[in-house]
Amino acid sequence: MTAVVYVPRDSSAVSLGADAVAGAIRSEAASRKLDVTIVRNGSRGMFSHEPMVEVGAIAGRIAYGPVAAGDVASLFDSNFLAGREHRLRLGVAGEIPWLKSQTRLTFARAGLTDPLSLDDFVAHGGYRGLRRAIELGADTVVAEVTNSGLRGRGGAGFPTGIKWKTALDAPAAPKYVVCNADEGDSGTFSDRMIMEGDPFVLIEGMTIAALAVGATQGYIYLRSEYPHARRALSEAIATAWSSGYLGANILGSGKSFELEIRLGAGAYVCGEETAMLESIEGRRGMVRFKPPVPALEGLFGKPTVINNVVSFATVPIIIERGAESFRHYGVGSSRGTMPFQLAGNAKRPGLIEAPMGVRLREIVNDYGGGTASGIKVRAVQVGGPLGAYFTESMLDVALDFESIAARGGVLGHGGIVVFDETVDMARMARYAMEFCAIESCGKCTPCRIGSIRGAEVIDDIINRRRPRENLEVLRDLCDTMKFGSLCALGGLAPLPVLSALKYFPGDFGLTPRDVDFIGADLTISAPGAASTHAIAGR
C-alpha cells in the first residue's frame, strides 16, 4: 500500500527547508524500501509549524511540524506513516485549534490539495462557481457579486460589483480583466499563498469576471519577487487552457478568455492600479489621473476590470453558494471574511481567515500568542507600510473597514505586523517616509519631495535640531501629502508617521502635549498654511 505524505511547496515553507525535508523523506523511504508518494501541497498558513508534514487520508490527515530534514529518520522510526506518536506530532491537521477556529472560504482548499492538480481542484469544489456563472448569465453574476457586499481586498476596499457593473455597461470593445498580483505591502502574503497554493481558484475567478463583463483577454500583473507563484500560475494556466477552462468556447459557453502573466520589476507603486496599467503597457509605472476610471478607460484605453488576487479568488465561492452565504459574515458595510496576515514579531504568525470585524487582539494574542521574542507587544501596524500603528492598549479595535478608519487607519490588504518593546517608533516613522521616497513614481510633488523632506525633518526632530519648529514643518508636510498627493502612496504615508507621533511621542523626544494637534482619528488640526514652507528646505 502506498502511503501519501504531504510536504508543502509554499515558498515560505521552502524557505524553512521544505524541499530538503521532501528529499529526505524520499531517500529514507527508498532506503527502507517503503512505498511513499509525496504530494507537494500548498501551505495551510500556520507558519510557526512549517515545514508541516502531513500523512494519511485527507479527512484525518495527521500533521507533524516543524520538521527539519534531520527529523525525518526518527519520524520513520516512529512509524509516522501510520500517524503514530512523535515529539513533532500535532494531531489531526484540521482539528488544530489555530486552524479549526478560522472561517475559511477563500482559503478553503489552501494546504489541502495539490495546487497543480486540476483533478484535485475539481474534486474539492473547484469550477462549480464558473459552471453556475455560465448558467446564471452576466447580469445575474454581477448582481450576485454586488449583493455579496464584496469589497476589494487589495487595499482600497471599493465595492467589486460596482466596478464590474461599470465595465459590463461600457460599450467599448475589447474589454480586459486585470489581476493585481503586485502584493508589495510588507506583512502580506495572502495573494502569494493563493497563487502558490490554489492557483486555479484565481483563474476561475478571473474567468467568471471575464464572462460577466464580456472581456476576452486577461492579464495577471505579478510582482517579480514571487518566482514560485509565477511557476505555479504558469503551469495552472497551461493546464486550464488544455482542459477547456481557458481559451475558446469555455465549457461550451461560446465565450472565450485568454490569460497571460505579466511581470512587474520591483516597483511598489505599480500596485497602484493605474501605475500597473502603465507598466503593462510598457511604460514607467507613473500614476494616472482619475477620471477616467479604469472600468471605462483602463488598459490600452479600454474598459478594464481590475481586482486583487484575493478578490478574484473569493468570487467562485460567492457564485457557487450565493451572495447571501458570503454576506452572512462580517459587520456593517464590511461583509464576508478577510484573510488576515499576521507577521513580524509574532509567536504564531500566518494566514488567518476570519469574518470581518474580528478584534485585532484576537489576531495578535489568541492566534499570534504574543511576540516571537517573548518581549511585550509595543506596536502593531495594520494595513501595510502605509497603515497606522496601534498600541497594545488599542488592540480591541475591530478589523473592518469602518472601525479601522474611525481610528484613522486603513485595513488595506489585511497585513498585521507586530513589534515588541525594543522597537524605536521614531525610526519606523522615518522609515515610512524613506520608503515613500524610494518608491514614489515622481509624478506629484507632495509625494516626491514631501517624502524626502519628511525623512529629513524627522531626523532633525530626533537629533534635537529645533524640534518644535520642525514638528510644525512635519505637521504641515503630512497635511500636504495627505491632501495633495495623486495616489495612496503619498496620501497615506503620513498615517504611520502621525500614528507613531501620537502614540509614541517619547521616541521622538517629544511630549504628548507636543503632538496634541493629531486627533484620535489621526486628523491634523489647525495645520495653518499647510504647504509652501514645508517643502522650501531648511
Partner 1 sequence: MDARNSANGGAGWDARMIDEIVAGLAGKPGALMPVLHAVNERVGFIPPEAVPAIARALNLSRAEVHGVISFYRDFRIERPGREIIRVCRAEACQAMGAVALAAHIQARLGIDFGQTSANGDFTLEPVYCLGNCACSPAIVVGVDLHGRVTPRHFDEILSAIAPARQPR
Nearer to partner 1, 113 or 341 (CB): 341
Q: Taking the complex as a whole, how short is the minimal distance between the CB of residue 129 and partner 1, in angstroms?
A: 26
Given candidates 342, 410, 429, 471, which one binds partner 1 under the rule CB under 8 A? 342
Nearer to partner 1, 102 or 345 (CB): 345
Q: Is 12 in the site for partner 1 (CB under 8 A)?
A: yes
Q: Is 397 in the site for partner 1 (CB under 8 A)?
A: no
Nearer to partner 1, 262 or 327 (CB): 262
Q: Is 30 in the site for partner 1 (CB under 8 A)?
A: no
Contact 316, 128 (CB under 8 A): yes
Residues 347-366 as x/- pattern, contact with partner 1 by CB under 8 A? --xxx---------------
Q: Taking the complex as a whole, how short is the minimal distance between the CB of residue 254 and partner 1, in angstroms?
A: 24
Per DSSP, the residues of 126-147 read: TTHHHHHHHHH-HHHHHHHHHH
Binding to partner 1, residues 36-75 (CB under 8 A): 45, 47, 50
- Beta sheet of 3-6, edge-to-edge order: 36-39, 3-6, 53-55, 62-64, 89-92
Given candidates 171, 252, 254, 282, which one binds partner 1 under the rule CB under 8 A? 282
Integer Cα distance of 19 and 430 in angstroms: 38
Counting runs of H as helices and runs of E as strands, what totals does the chain give? 21, 18
Given candidates 7, 295, 394, 417, which one binds partner 1 under the rule CB under 8 A? 417
Q: Taking the complex as a whole, how short is the minimal distance between the CB of residue 11 and partner 1, in angstroms?
A: 5
Residue closest to 271 by CA, chosen among 178, 156, 182, 158: 182
Span near partner 1 by CB under 8 A; candidates 83-91, 118-126, 413-421, 456-464: 413-421
C-alpha cell at 428: 519606523
Nearer to partner 1, 283 or 464 (CB): 283
Given candidates 96, 136, 372, 405, which one binds partner 1 under the rule CB under 8 A? 372
Q: Is 420 in the site for partner 1 (CB under 8 A)?
A: yes
Integer Cα distance of 395 and 403 in angstroms: 12
C-alpha cell at 202: 484565481
Nearer to partner 1, 167 or 351 (CB): 351
What are the residues whose beta carbons fall under 8 Å from the beta carbon of 97, sequence distance 6 or more?
none
Span near partner 1 by CB under 8 A; candidates 154-162, 343-351, 358-366, 525-533: 343-351
Span near partner 1 by CB under 8 A; candidates 78-86, 221-229, 316-324, 485-493: 221-229
SS3 of 168-227: HHCCCCCCEEEEEECCCCCCCCHHHHHHHHCHHHHHHHHHHHHHHHCCCEEEEEECCCCH
C-alpha cell at 231: 511557476
Tell me 286's DSSP state.
P
Phi, psi torsion values for 226, nearest 5 degrees:
-115, 65
Given candidates 156, 251, 263, 395, which one binds partner 1 under the rule CB under 8 A? 263
Span near partner 1 by CB under 8 A; candidates 106-114, 414-422, 461-469, 507-515: 414-422
What are the residues whose beta carbons fall under 8 Å from the beta carbon of 352, sequence distance 6 or more?
45, 102, 339, 340, 341, 342, 363, 367
Total site size for partner 1, rule CB under 8 A:
60
- The residue with cell 502580506 is 188
Binding to partner 1, residues 171-200 (CB under 8 A): 183-189, 191-192
- The residue with cell 527508498 is 30
Span near partner 1 by CB under 8 A; candidates 258-266, 322-330, 395-403, 525-533: 258-266
Integer Cα distance of 194 and 45 in angstroms: 11
Binding to partner 1, residues 69-128 (CB under 8 A): none
Q: Taking the complex as a whole, how short is the minimal distance between the CB of residue 281 and partner 1, in angstroms?
A: 4
Nearer to partner 1, 213 or 267 (CB): 267
Integer Cα distance of 498 and 519 in angstroms: 9
Integer Cα distance of 101 and 231 in angstroms: 32
Q: How long is the chain?
A: 538
Q: Taking the complex as a whole, how short is the minimal distance between the CB of residue 504 and partner 1, in angstroms?
A: 15
Q: Is 284 in the site for partner 1 (CB under 8 A)?
A: yes
Which residues contribute to the site for partner 1 (CB under 8 A)? 11-12, 14-16, 45, 47, 50, 183-189, 191-192, 224-228, 262-268, 279-285, 300, 341-346, 349-351, 372, 381, 385, 415, 417-420, 423, 428, 431, 435, 438-439
